[in-house]
């Protein structure tokens, strides 16, 4: 084993800077993701430039990271999405979405290089504590926000309003869930004070999740519980049942107490208002887990995406263009000005956008992560290293479930957690990978100039998008009213990118209005 780098403060600080995206407000934009994607892309550029300026220090790490099968596959997906500019229905919209894909890709690459062969248990614990702090802030926002409006606001409206800095409450719920595995590591790894604080934060996080009452996250919570229980049993199979029971209780007790606390608050709100609404109590909402029953059913959207992908197996609509390809399908169901700009399944949407090759490449990322952990567990005898890979995979599993029911690919908070979790998953792998013993060369450093150029373009696109969102926040409110903005101001207000609004209305139509 090569020497371990014990200085984890630099990598930890960079992880902290990425996690700060959870607190970036909209800064006057119609959607918070405008400012958040701009922040992430600027941070990507700064960290990548630092790595390249110190390429002698990081040349071994660069080579090791770029040789990962996951990095190669991820790079190919970015390349394939870039190629779709040639045939996209709307190439400008592809540029907007590509800027987000490139930004996420570089979060993974940057953190993986910085994390390479650092003292992994300490680093993983530090990052987990940072994630716990973010979870605490988000959980308190949900709980206090709901309590404040519990009497005076309609129950459904109250829950839907709890978006935080995530755009909508479904993303807020998924953003809570994906952090739970890291809390479990904090509880398992730290001593009494750390365990107590971790248990309190986990309780508050699960309570906030139950208040948001999102059915897809209930599925994710169930998957997380199964994975955690399996990992604990396998890691402690040589121990007595008391050890296993104690560690399982670290998850079960906060879960049970949070259920009753949240259900009590929801029941009180129902009693005060005299009706359940679309959400109601946890038991009522969980009983509604049936995607086919919704008015705008996910099943309908999934069938449309499958049909389009089957008719366009090689090219698709172009990356990020499902929102346009979906219009001929949606017009059969509604006369309203409604565009289902996501099909509530990122896997099917990727097939519709990029055809078979792009869709398979995207799905294979998750298969490869799972397979990597499975292989590591077969070979390793270090239970602590096994736990680290298992916790990271649990976070990936939470993302996987959310991507099956929603569209986390668009949201900065979820993409940041996905890239961070994937980077952390490989921490123990670097110590066992035989490729790491090879003599490094300079090709890896030179290859990083390609994503450097891409991120410069992403910064430009993200800045233009943010500028447009600031205008959209003002103009969108005038769609059903008499326009108040001066004609000359409107004509010059919008940049060339994007050419579609957040609701897929053509920008030129807004200007014409």
The reported pLDDT for the residue numbered 1 is: 36
Distance between CA atoms of 236 and 389, rounded to whole angstroms? 16
Q: Helix 180-189 crosses helix 192-212 at what angle (to 10 degrees)?
A: 160
Q: For residues 352 and 316, is the Cβ–Cβ distance under 8 A?
A: yes
The reported pLDDT for the residue numbered 275 is: 61
Q: For residues 159 and 279, is the Cβ–Cβ distance under 8 A?
A: yes
Residue 5 DSSP one-character state: B
Instruction: Please compute Rg for the chain using Cα positions.
Output: 23
Q: C-alpha angle 395/401/403, rounded to 5°?
A: 100
The continuous run of DSSP H or E covering 66 comes out as helix 55-66
| pLDDT tens track for 446-497 | 788 899 999 999 999 999 999 999 888 777 665 556 666 777 777 778 888 9
Our measurement of the distance from residue 234's CA atom to the centroid of its chain's CA atoms, rounded to an integer in Å, reads 28
The reported pLDDT for the residue numbered 442 is: 58
Conformational region of residue 364, where left means phi above 0, alpha means psi within -120 to 50, and beta covers everything else: alpha
Q: What is the pTM of this model?
A: 0.92
The reported pLDDT for the residue numbered 144 is: 92
The reported pLDDT for the residue numbered 87 is: 93
The token pair at 39 is 């922040």
Distance between CA atoms of 465 and 331, rounded to whole angstroms? 28
The reported pLDDT for the residue numbered 189 is: 92
Q: For residues 93 and 500, is the Cβ–Cβ distance under 8 A?
A: yes
Distance between CA atoms of 111 and 114, rounded to whole angstroms? 5
- At residue 350, φ and ψ (nearest 5 deg) are -70, -35
The token pair at 102 is 């490139």
The reported pLDDT for the residue numbered 2 is: 44
The reported pLDDT for the residue numbered 293 is: 47
The token pair at 60 is 């071994």
List all residues 6 or more positions away from 470 whose beta carbon is below 8 Å from its beta carbon.
27, 28, 29, 30, 34
Question: How many residues in total does the chain contain?
Answer: 513
The reported pLDDT for the residue numbered 284 is: 58
Residues forming a β-bridge with 5: 118
The reported pLDDT for the residue numbered 119 is: 87
What's the Cα-to-Cα distance from 439 to each of 1, 71, 436, rounded to whole Å? Answer: 15, 19, 8
| pLDDT tens track for 45-100 | 999 999 999 988 998 999 999 999 999 999 999 999 999 999 999 999 999 999 99
pLDDT beneath 70: ranges in the chain:
1-6, 273-296, 334-338, 433-444, 476-484
Listed in sequence order, the DSSP H helices in 213-297 are 215-235, 241-273, 282-286
Distance between CA atoms of 440 and 231, rounded to whole angstroms? 35
List all residues 6 or more positions away from 196 whose beta carbon is below 8 Å from its beta carbon.
none
The token pair at 481 is 């009213």
């Amino acid at each position: 084993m090569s020497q371990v780098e014990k200085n984890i403060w630099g990598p930890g600080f960079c992880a902290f800077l990425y996690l700060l995206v959870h607190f970036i407000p909209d800064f006057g934009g119609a959607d918070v993701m405008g400012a958040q994607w701009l922040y992430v892309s600027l941070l990507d550029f700064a960290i990548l430039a630092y790595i390249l300026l110190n390429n002698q220090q990081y040349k071994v790490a660069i080579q090791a990271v770029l040789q990962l099968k996951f990095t190669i596959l991820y790079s190919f997906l970015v390349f394939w999405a870039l190629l779709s500019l040639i045939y996209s229905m709307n190439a400008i919209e592809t540029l907007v979405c590509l800027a987000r894909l490139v930004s996420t890709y570089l979060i993974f690459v940057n953190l993986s290089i910085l994390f390479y062969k650092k003292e992994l248990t300490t680093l993983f614990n530090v990052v987990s504590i940072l994630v716990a702090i973010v979870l605490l802030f988000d959980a308190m926002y949900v709980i206090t926000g709901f309590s404040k409006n519990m009497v005076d606001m309609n129950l459904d409206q109250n829950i839907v309003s709890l978006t935080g800095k995530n755009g909508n409450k479904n993303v807020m719920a998924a953003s809570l869930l994906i952090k739970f595995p890291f809390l479990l590591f904090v509880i398992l790894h730290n001593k009494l004070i750390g365990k107590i604080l971790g248990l309190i934060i986990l309780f508050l996080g699960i309570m906030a999740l139950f208040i948001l009452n999102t059915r897809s996250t209930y599925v994710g919570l169930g998957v997380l519980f199964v994975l955690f229980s399996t990992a604990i049993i396998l890691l402690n199979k040589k121990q007595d049942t008391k050890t296993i029971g104690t560690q399982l209780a670290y998850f079960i007790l906060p879960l049970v107490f949070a259920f009753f606390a949240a259900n009590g608050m929801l029941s009180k709100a129902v009693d005060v208002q005299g009706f359940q609404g679309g959400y109601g109590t946890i038991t009522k909402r969980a009983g509604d887990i049936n995607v086919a029953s919704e008015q705008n059913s996910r099943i309908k959207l999934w069938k449309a995406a499958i049909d389009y992908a089957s008719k366009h197996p090689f090219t698709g609509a172009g990356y990020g263009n499902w929102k346009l390809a979906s219009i001929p399908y949606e017009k059969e169901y509604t006369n309203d000005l409604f565009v289902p700009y996501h099909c509530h399944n990122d896997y099917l949407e990727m097939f519709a956008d990029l055809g078979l090759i792009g869709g398979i490449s995207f799905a294979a990322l998750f298969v490869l992560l799972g397979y990597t952990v499975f292989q590591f567990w077969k070979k390793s005898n270090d239970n602590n290293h096994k736990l680290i890979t298992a916790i990271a995979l649990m976070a990936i599993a939470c993302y996987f479930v959310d991507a099956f029911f929603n569209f986390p690919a668009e949201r900065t908070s979820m993409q940041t957690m996905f890239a961070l979790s994937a980077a952390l998953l490989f921490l123990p792998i670097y110590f066992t990978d035989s490729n790491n013993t090879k003599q490094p060369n300079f090709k890896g450093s030179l290859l990083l100039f390609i994503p450097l150029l891409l991120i410069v373009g992403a910064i430009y696109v993200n800045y233009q998008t943010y500028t447009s969102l600031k205008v959209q926040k003002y103009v969108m409110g005038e769609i059903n009213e008499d326009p108040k903005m001066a004609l000359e101001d409107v004509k010059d207000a919008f940049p060339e990118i994007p050419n579609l609004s957040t609701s897929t209305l053509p920008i030129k139509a807004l200007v014409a209005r």
